[in-house]
A and B are shown apart, each in its own frame.
Chain A
């Protein structure tokens, strides 16, 4: 031990003259700064380019190089994407599909997490495992039976197939995450509530739910991004233009305009990207923590 500490003790803190240190520090940090600059350019430049391109006119795309700046802010691309491109309709469909799914996932998932973690009964471990297994199953495994079922029930042609499927596929991760959060609450809290005469439902509504409110918000954010960005399920169950969600609309937009008319396509992508950026700017800490916590979904 003393042998380890000896050299440490012999080193005397002799600060080198200030100007030398500053220039040496700058040179030493130069590679790191260059590296950070490169990372930033790689991450941010494509998005800047996307934004700039959304303002370019058709003539500018043809005649100017791709990295040139737009000569003016041409909002015409946005107008065209919104009206001819139907982006307004697609956004409405996305909201109409995502909002009810999200509400159902949260209400059902939080209650189930409570029942599986706080309540005491035989077989709860098994049920939790059954929910967990759902996280791994690829969407392709349930598409065909669901498609047949919705067809038989006459639900095709509405947004119900999306809402039902999103709710079912969102539940496993939600139940799993909520069970983890309820585990962190001391059992004594609920036992005290029971002694004070609260029924289980009362304990859930008045104590359990308020105590995990923050976690519920985080889980809701995670699920929002999964559902909003989903392509597979939306592509399968939306069989007409009137039902398309933003992602499906964008995919078809490419075929409709993309080959020749970049402006409206870039404007449409921009509305999607910078809308999410606004949410991200406000809530990034929570989103990062939540998505990292929900990483099991892959």
Chain B
């Protein structure tokens, strides 16, 4: 029977096309991109071999340091925010609203499916100061605080970016963590209640430890997504003011397509890939250790 389910011709027919497209348009370019790191130039003017020059440049480039710092700061703040708000919403769904949570769960999830560009333009207009005061500044004016030039300074731009991404994605993490919370056996909660645990104690001592695995996977998903942030920044601030909100992804894009430096662009892309890989492995391993100790 395994002869039939192991028919080589059939395997080739079913798997072949997908593997071919994936190899040619994904695996090969990754390797090719690794090769680019040793060259300078671009597709139009041609390439010259420069050895490790790009890596030396990478190590000494203040713009890279700035972009790396922004990427890490953004990923840390947004990941913590997403998981925290998502978890609070999930607790609200499961323990307060119970079976009536369906409508609000659906509503809060909705922004997840929206194009980032559309949401970013909406937020840009909401927080705008000139030539016209946006919604937020009008409200601030109405309560007597006065308008703030949100996109004028690095700090306030960062705040708007974080606010927008949390608005967009908290519903997603809420649903992800909600399904995790539903998996907690009712008997365990009941046992906790019989032993006198209520409210916060119940959540802190029983629900939280039991939802660690789903929190961990959410953490990995979130970090992986936030390290690659691109759309939000391009559409909301364009990396400005100056390059204060430029993450590695955008810096790579500008280097490659505005300045035509494919080699250096690939080197930055490699740094980004390694960063994603390291963080995932680190989170995964450190959590493994914790779980076995507990």
Contacts and interface: CB of A to CB of B under 8 A. Distances in A.
Interface of A: 4-5, 8, 32, 35-36, 39-40, 42-44, 46, 49-50, 53, 61-62, 65-67, 104, 108-109, 111-112, 114-116, 118-121, 127, 130-131, 134, 136-149, 151-152, 164-165, 167-169, 171-172, 175, 190-191, 194-195, 199-201, 204, 225, 228-229, 231-232, 235-236, 246-247, 250-251, 254, 258-260, 262, 265-266, 269, 272-273, 276-277, 279-280, 284, 287-288, 291-292, 295-298
B8 to A, nearest CB: 8
Nearest to B132: A61
Nearest 5 interchain pairs by C-beta: A298-B224, A298-B225, A168-B25, A200-B10, A112-B18
A141 to B, nearest CB: 5
Contact of A247 (B115, B179, B268): B115
B212 interface: no
Interface stretch (B151-159, B200-208, B271-279): B271-279
A191 B29 contact: no
Given A32-B96, A142-B30, A190-B5, A43 B171 contact: yes
Interface string B95-132: 01100000011111111111111100111111000011
Interface residues of B, number: 101
Contacts of A280: 110, 113
Interface stretch (B52-60, B61-69, B249-257): B249-257
A137 B273 CA distance: 6
19 contacts: A40-B107, A46-B123, A49-B126, A65-B142, A67-B138, A111-B13, A119-B5, A120-B2, A141-B30, A141-B270, A142-B26, A151-B43, A171-B26, A229-B116, A231-B115, A250-B121, A288-B109, A298-B225, A298-B228
Nearest to A7: B196
A243 B170 CA distance: 33
B221 A298 contact: yes
B211 interface: no
B175 interface: yes
Interface in B216-253: 217-218, 221-228, 230-231, 234-235, 249, 252-253
Nearest to A221: B113
Given A200-B7, A251-B234, A265-B121, 18 more contacts: A36-B104, A43-B110, A66-B132, A114-B14, A120-B5, A136-B277, A142-B26, A143-B256, A144-B265, A144-B266, A145-B32, A164-B25, A225-B113, A247-B116, A260-B131, A265-B125, A284-B109, A298-B224
Interface of B: 1-2, 4-8, 10-11, 13-15, 17-19, 21-22, 24-30, 32-33, 36, 42-44, 89, 92, 96-97, 104-118, 121-126, 131-135, 138-139, 142, 167, 171-172, 175-176, 179, 194-195, 217-218, 221-228, 230-231, 234-235, 249, 252-253, 256-257, 262, 265-266, 268-270, 272-273, 276-277, 280
B196 to A, nearest CB: 8
Given A40-B107, A49-B135, A291 B265 contact: no
Main SS of chain B's interface residues? helix
Contacts of A137: 26, 30, 273
B79 to A, nearest CB: 10
A288 B106 contact: yes
A23 B16 CA distance: 68
Nearest to B135: A66
Contacts of B106: 284, 288
Given A108-B17, A269-B122, A291-B172, A191 B5 contact: yes
B115 A144 contact: no
